[in-house]
């Protein structure tokens, strides 16, 4: 019976023998793996910081330098469902009259970063506060070096609605207010409604509860004759 103690285990490959000319393996330089032959100038040049404090500090001048590229940035989000990137960018280019360009960048949790090329565009957009993009309020916040995206807890939101087939006898402050109150609290009407130069529908801004239900029609009685008015929500 042969002894098993003289044979090495076969479960693992044998270690590399040092008998091959006694050559020593040179550690691989991994930094060269990421070097392209036709690489463009780098904007990021990394360094190694061997000290590892429990909390890595960034303050003062470091924060100021790090935020220089983002000083003309706003962070925005839509009330309700997150809009598609292409649709939102199209609405921005259509509605905002910008002197220069703006970049739209997606962030987590439904936030978008708006990076303006000039301060004039940045100030113009910020001065308007809440915009209506794709029929929904688009809330803007100023970016700063310590900024953390956070959605405000709105109990009510303003929305624009179109009331079709509005009887001309109701085309006044009381009439529009009573009808729009079936949806929410009337806030304002667009200029064409104020001037009565567009009579196909009344476009009104109303304040609604965030959990509101939205009627598709509103019934009015004109001396006993019931008329159904179609309500359209701009989203």
The answer to whether residue 44 is domain-embedded is no
In a domain, 206, yes or no: yes
131 located within any domain: yes
Clarify whether residues 137 and 174 are in a common domain.
Answer: no
Q: How confident is the model at residue 54 (pLDDT cuts 50, 70, 90)?
A: confident
CB 150 within 8 A of CB 167: no
Task: Point out the domain boundary residue: 89, 116, 142.
Answer: 142
Higher-scoring residue by pLDDT: 40, 198: 198
pLDDT at 177 over 90: yes
Residue 84: which domain range? 65-142
**pLDDT tens figures, 79-135:** 878 899 999 999 999 999 899 999 999 998 899 999 999 999 999 999 877 788 887
Highest mean pLDDT among 17-26, 36-45, 77-86, 194-203: 77-86
Same domain, 160 and 226: yes
Query: Could you give the number of structural domains in the chain?
Result: 2
H or E segment to which residue 114 belongs = strand 112-116
Cα Rg of the chain, angstroms: 32
Q: Exposed/middle/buried for 182, CB within 10 Å: 0-12, 13-18, 19+? A: middle
| CATH number (domain holding residue 114) | 3.30.70.330
């Amino acid at each position: 019976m042969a002894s098993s103690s003289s044979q090495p285990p076969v479960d693992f490959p044998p270690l590399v023998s040092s008998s091959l000319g006694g050559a020593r393996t040179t550690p691989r330089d991994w930094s060269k793996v990421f070097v392209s032959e036709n690489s463009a100038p780098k904007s990021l040049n990394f360094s190694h910081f061997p000290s590892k404090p429990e909390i890595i500090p960034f303050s003062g001048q470091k924060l100021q330098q790090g935020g220089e590229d983002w000083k003309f940035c706003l962070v925005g989000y839509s009330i309700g469902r997150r809009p598609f990137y292409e649709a939102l960018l199209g609405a921005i280019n259509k509605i905002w009259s910008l002197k220069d360009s703006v970049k739209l960048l997606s962030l987590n949790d439904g936030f978008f970063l708006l990076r303006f090329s000039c301060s004039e565009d940045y100030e113009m957009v910020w001065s308007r506060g809440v915009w209506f993009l794709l029929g929904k309020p688009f809330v803007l916040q100023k970016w700063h070096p310590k900024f953390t995206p956070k959605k405000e807890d709105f109990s009510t939101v303003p929305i624009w609605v179109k009331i079709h087939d509005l009887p001309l006898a109701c085309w006044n402050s009381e009439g529009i207010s009573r009808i729009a109150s079936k949806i929410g609290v009337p806030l304002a009407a667009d200029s064409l409604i104020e001037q009565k130069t567009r009579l196909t529908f009344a476009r009104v801004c109303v304040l609604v509860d965030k959990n509101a239900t939205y009627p598709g029609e509103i019934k009015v009685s004109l001396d006993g004759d019931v008329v159904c008015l179609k309500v359209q929500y701009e989203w």
